[in-house]
Amino acid sequence: MLLKSFHFQLFIILAAISLTLSYTAMVYGHPVWPDTVKVGGEFRTRVEARFNDDLDGVQDDNDLLVLLRTRVYLDLNPTDEIKIFAMFQDSETLGQGNSFFQTPSDRSFYQGYLQVLTPGKWTTRLRLGRQELLYGDERLIGAFNWGNLGRSFDGMVLRLENSAFWMDIFGTRIKLPNGKEAQLASSYAHWKKFPSGILEPYIIVYHGNELGLNNQELSLVTLGTRIDGKVGQSWDYGFEGAYQTGQNAGNLISDFALQSQFGFTFAAKCKPRLGFEYNFASGDGTPGAGTVTLFNNILPTNHGKYGLIDYFSWRNMHDISANFVVHPSDFIKAYLAYHAFFLPQPANGVFAANGQQFRTGIPGASAYAGQEIDVYFKFDPIKYFSGLVGYSVFFPGQFFADTGTADIAHFFYAQVLARY
């Protein structure tokens, strides 16, 4: 069945081309193309097995699916100042049935932009066209690389940069997976020489005529700051805080979110790091009425930040987490994490990684939403290839029992990525 599918055959052909090009580059040790032309891409496949995403042990919603993603790019650099970049993407989903995170198949002109660089004391870089946007830890604006479709924006990004700072000013629009259009504009600054790290203050303006409650207008202004740094050889820390105001369906918006983390890396060959993290995002005790106090994490890369099973996002949550990373060899990373989730406003329920409501809240329900354990192993033996296998388990808390079913869910995945 799988072998006969057209998409699977296409996938095999593209894989063969990818591998041939990689092999050629490796064997001959020099580029196949002239210096001003780069051709490359990547090809990724992930098998996901999801058990009981609906947290209802009686209702069978178990699912085994295959995600295939092929990207091919052309990168032209006729002069040092000019770049023309184009990337095509083929995303295929095979065998998806009941999963909560439905991923459609799609073929798209994923990126295509013209870049003009003007060197100087303040270098300016202008990018016009379709492009990915990645800022900070991608908690508010990200390219969602974990997703099979990724995320790119249409518009203009101007970067001003010197030896100590850069600042991006951009105006873009995007068609969301639900077919609605959003406009996103921002001024995002980055101070490279902040003592022992970096500091990033930002303003993000997000607007859509149908993005708010009951498909009404949403105008959101986010003011935030992010710090990331190291103290000595062993300690690292991070902090991000954001406040939002604006209008949603005629109601005032006023909400906020915080994130903080610190870690200690032991002086051993396998670089063991023990990390602790706390994430908070405000919720709304009166959802749909009066002031909107639910934090909106805009267009992030949510995966990997609030548990890998993706039942939570940076909305109406406390996430208390500890994690341990170790590198048994240069090319292997092992990761173990624990999360405990609570809801600031049980009436507002749980919002999943895709921003959708995962479980509707009830006033008076318990604030304790559950616990999660994540483990994965990542392999990077050569630069052309990487592998990933992981498992996550979620133990629903009293909140889920108070609002419906509360049975354990499991998530297994295995991914390979080839680049050329």
CB of 99 to Ca ion, least distance (A): 11
Does residue 290 touch Ca ion according to CB under 5 A?
Answer: yes
Which residues lie closer than 8 Å to 38 by C-beta, 6 or more apart?
31, 73, 74, 75, 76, 77
Contact range with Ca ion by CB under 5 A, out of 57-65, 270-278, 299-307, 365-373: 57-65
The footprint of Ca ion on this chain (CB under 5 A) covers a number of residues equal to 8
* Binding status of residue 248 toward Ca ion by CB under 5 A: no
Footprint (CB under 5 A) of Ca ion, residues 368-407: none
Shorter beta-carbon distance to Ca ion: residue 54 or 310: 54
Q: Does 329 bind Ca ion (CB under 5 A)?
A: no
| 3-state percent helix, strand, coil for the chain, nearest multiple of 5 | 10, 55, 35
Q: How far is the CB of 283 from Ca ion (least distance, A)?
A: 9
Site stretch for Ca ion (CB under 5 A), options 51-59, 72-80, 92-100, 372-380: 51-59
d(CA 292, CA 245): 9
Are 184 and 141 in contact by the 8 Å Cβ rule? The answer is yes
CA distance 197 to 239: 11
CA distance 295 to 37: 44
Residue with the closest Cβ to Ca ion?
A: 286
CB-CB contact of 335 with 327 (8 Å): no
Specify which residues 320 forms β-bridges with. Answer: 278, 340
**Residue among 18, 52, 297, 386 that touches Ca ion (CB under 5 A):** 52
**Interface segment toward Ca ion; rule CB under 5 A; list 147-155, 228-236, 283-291, 344-352:** 283-291
Cα separation, 44 vs 90, in Å, equals 10
Tokens of 398: 């009293």
Q: Does 284 bind Ca ion (CB under 5 A)?
A: yes
The radius of gyration computed from the CA coordinates of the chain, to the nearest angstrom, equals 22
Is position 59 an interface residue for Ca ion (rule: CB under 5 A)? Answer: yes
Residues in a beta bridge with 246: 220, 253
Give CA torsion, residues 304, 305, 306, 307, to 10 deg.
20
- The correct pick among 48, 54, 137, 228 for binding Ca ion (CB under 5 A) is 54
Among 178, 215, 286, 329, binds Ca ion (CB under 5 A): 286
- Quick one: which H or E segment has residue 190? strand 181-191
Q: Which is nearer to Ca ion, 45 or 52 (CB)?
A: 52
Q: Is 16 helix (H, G, I), strand (E, B) or coil?
A: helix
In the list 56, 106, 217, 402, the residue contacting Ca ion (rule: CB under 5 A) is 56
Q: Is 137 helix (H, G, I), strand (E, B) or coil?
A: coil
CB of 62 to Ca ion, least distance (A): 7
The 10-49 contact track toward Ca ion, x by CB under 5 A, reads ----------------------------------------
Minimum gap (Å) between residue 409 Cβ and Ca ion:
8
What is the nearest approach in angstroms of Ca ion to the Cβ of residue 351? Answer: 15
- Of 8, 10, 46, 61, the residue at the interface with Ca ion (CB under 5 A) is 61
Binding segment toward Ca ion, per CB under 5 A, in 55-63, 163-171, 333-341, 395-403 = 55-63
> What one-character DSSP code corresponds to residue 22?
H
Minimum CB distance to Ca ion, residue 126 (Å): 41
**Smallest distance from Ca ion to CB 128, Å:** 40
Tokens read off for 379: 């392999």
Is 131 a residue that touches Ca ion (CB under 5 A)?
Answer: no
Contact present, 393 and 362 (Cβ < 8 Å): no
Give the binding site for Ca ion (CB under 5 A).
Answer: 52, 54, 56, 59, 61, 284, 286, 290
